[in-house]
């Protein structure tokens, strides 16, 4: 993971965003970028002196765009914009999301297309490096004009107002935190208030974090499927490369290759391979795992392409063009990001749904091919993992509700000036909850599948699935009388969410 990230020389990478958001990588701003910022600011200051009105420079905003603002009131205009737009409500947004949002806004400011002064750019970097995180609230953004309310809470802190969390996580006033860090608050000037809040940075930050997590979780889904297929005496023949080539979907091929690798050399699979095996076909949740997991992978690839384009964007309104024009535009509309956030939530729900079905099969004596009911130790006395499946089913039910798209909704705002909005922030918030749910559903499948593997003794699992079983056994005991199940689910969820399960299988 990067220990430092340079902003302004070229577009940030997804890895850069994760490094700063989650791992507190230090941020530096490229000197050439600061010069571009200064050059563009000179254009804004020339327009500020022009007696003709220019939107966002010498006028009001939104529905008040035709109202001319006298020079002696423009500093108040910028401050009022930020104070009034910092109207979020609800629970605090996670630190990593706010840091991603701040970094992405810093990147746009550093392009020299927004018209802010260099001191604004430097102050955003200083807050990130000091570990100062503005308090941003859950609700308030409609995803157009960008993430106005969340970005306004950040801008408010840059002004030395509002509340923040310091590097120790303590909540305090922005004025105190900035003073303690030796950072001078910024008094905003013409155009700067708009430049700080017109962007898709919040929804994009959450998309990038989600993609990072999903890459690992979809590999984990292949691992958990392999464990279920193996422990339920399923076949690996259906994952053959030549069969996959008949339908050349890229994600499907990748998932099938994982399943072949994870099941390679399995004595359990070998034990029922051959003419004496009377089973004709496995259930879809076993046989079609590459098709579903692969479709999710392809969805993720599409979302990553959208995110990459957004990372290369300078989203603001108005924007300063390369040839020096100041032009209004609609690039702040969150639709491109909002759509893929919703698309990913659909894929997450479906992968989790298939995982839960495999878990249920392992617990059903009529379908598990010789495993005890609910994998219980003393049938009738013990319930085994019966209620673990209930937990998975409850999560999957919620994931299906979260898969309902946010981006198809729109509520007009700003006196009908902003009459169509993306709801991308809401889509990003529910995707974060969906990813958490997927990790838990996969953990329950891994927990169940590892117990089922142990119950196939003396037959041994494949090297990859056996490595995962051994990892789980460092945190959770093997088969036996009923125990307190919740801590075991939480322990395996931690292994899944940290990537430990995927790494164990791939090692």
Residues taking part in catalysis: 55
Considering all CA atoms of the chain, what is the largest pairwise distance in Å, rounded to the nearest integer? 91
- In 3D space, the residue among 261, 145, 228 whose CA is nearest the CA of residue 193 turns out to be 145
Quick one: how far is CA 241 from the chain centroid? 32
Distance CA 53, CA 59 (A): 6
Q: Can you list the alpha helix ranges (DSSP code H) found in 376-423?
A: 386-402
- Judge if the upstream peptide bond of residue 402 is cis by omega within 30 degrees of 0: no
Report residue 291 as tokens. Answer: 């098709």
Give the CB-side neighbour count of residue 260, counting CA atoms within 13 A: 14
Question: Residues in the chain, how many?
Answer: 507
What's the rounded Cα separation, in Å, for the pair 239 and 290?
Answer: 8
* Residue 359 DSSP code: H
Q: Which two tokens stand for residue 476?
A: 């959770």
Neighbours of 460 (CB within 10 A): 16
Q: How far apart are CA 289 and CA 301, in angstroms?
A: 18
> Which DSSP string do the residues of 329-348 spell out, in sequence order?
--TT--HHHHHHHHHHHHHH
What one-character-per-residue DSSP string does 175-211 give?
HHHHHHHT-PPP---TTHHHHHH-S-HHHHHHHHHHH
Chain mean position to CA 173: 29
CA 191/CA 196 separation, integer angstroms: 9
Question: Helices in 144-183 by DSSP H: which ranges?
Answer: 148-158, 174-181
Residue 359 CB neighbour total at 10 angstroms: 28
Strands 171-173 and 137-139: unpaired
Distance of CA 45 to the CA centre of its chain: 39
Q: Report the SS3 class of residue 232.
A: coil
For residue 473, what are the CA distances in angstroms to 366, 374, 479?
27, 19, 10
Q: Write the CB contacts of 281 (distance below 8 Å, at least 6 apart in sequence).
A: 287
How many CB atoms are closer than 10 A to CB 266? 23
**Nearest alpha-carbon partner for 27 in 113, 105, 128:** 128
Are 301 and 251 a contacting pair, CB within 8 Å? Answer: yes
């Amino acid at each position: 993971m990067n220990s430092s990230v340079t902003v302004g020389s070229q577009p940030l990478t997804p890895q850069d965003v994760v490094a700063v958001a989650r791992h507190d990588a230090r941020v530096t701003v490229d000197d050439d970028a600061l010069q571009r910022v200064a050059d563009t600011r000179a254009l804004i200051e020339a327009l500020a002196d022009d007696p003709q009105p220019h939107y966002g420079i010498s006028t009001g905003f939104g529905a008040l765009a035709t109202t001319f603002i006298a020079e002696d009131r423009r500093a108040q205009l910028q401050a009022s914009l930020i104070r009034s737009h910092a109207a979020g409500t609800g629970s605090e947004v996670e630190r990593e999301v706010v840091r991603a949002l701040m970094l992405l806004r810093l990147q746009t400011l550093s392009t020299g297309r927004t018209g802010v002064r260099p001191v604004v750019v430097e102050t955003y970097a200083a807050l990130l490096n000091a570990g100062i995180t503005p308090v941003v609230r859950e609700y308030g953004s409609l995803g157009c004009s960008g993430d106005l309310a969340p970005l306004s809470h950040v801008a408010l802190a840059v002004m030395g107002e509002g509340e923040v969390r310091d590097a120790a996580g303590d909540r305090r006033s922005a004025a105190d935190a900035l003073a303690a860090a030796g950072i001078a608050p910024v008094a905003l000037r013409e155009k700067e208030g708009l430049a700080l809040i017109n962007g898709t940075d919040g929804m994009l930050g959450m998309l990038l974090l989600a993609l990072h997590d999903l890459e690992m979780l979809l590999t984990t889904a292949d691992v958990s499927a392999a464990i279920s297929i193996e422990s339920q005496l399923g076949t690996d023949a259906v994952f053959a490369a030549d069969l996959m080539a008949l339908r050349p979907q890229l994600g499907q091929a990748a998932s099938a290759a994982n399943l072949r690798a994870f099941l390679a050399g399995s004595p359990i699979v070998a034990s029922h391979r051959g003419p004496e095996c009377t089973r004709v076909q496995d259930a879809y949740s076993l046989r079609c795992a590459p098709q579903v997991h692969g479709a999710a992978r392809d969805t993720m690839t599409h979302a990553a392409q959208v995110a990459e384009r957004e990372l290369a964007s300078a989203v603001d309104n108005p924007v300063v063009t390369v040839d020096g024009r100041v032009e209004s535009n609609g690039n702040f509309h969150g639709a491109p990001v909002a759509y893929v956030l919703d698309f990913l939530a659909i894929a997450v729900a479906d992968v989790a749904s298939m995982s839960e079905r495999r878990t249920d099969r392992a617990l059903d004596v009529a379908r598990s091919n010789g495993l005890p009911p609910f994998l219980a130790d003393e049938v009738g006395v013990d319930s085994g993992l019966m209620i673990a499946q209930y937990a998975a089913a409850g999560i999957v039910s919620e994931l299906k509700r979260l898969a309902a798209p946010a981006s198809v909704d729109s509520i007009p705002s700003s006196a009908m000036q902003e009459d169509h909005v993306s709801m991308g922030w809401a889509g990003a918030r529910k995707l974060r909850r969906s990813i958490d749910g997927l990790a838990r559903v996969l953990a329950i499948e891994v927990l169940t599948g590892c117990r089922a593997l142990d119950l196939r003794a003396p037959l041994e699992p494949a090297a990859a699935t056996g490595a995962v079983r051994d990892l789980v056994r460092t945190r959770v005991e093997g088969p036996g009388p009923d125990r307190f199940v919740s801590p075991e689910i939480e322990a395996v969820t931690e292994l899944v969410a940290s990537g430990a399960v995927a790494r164990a299988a791939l090692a």
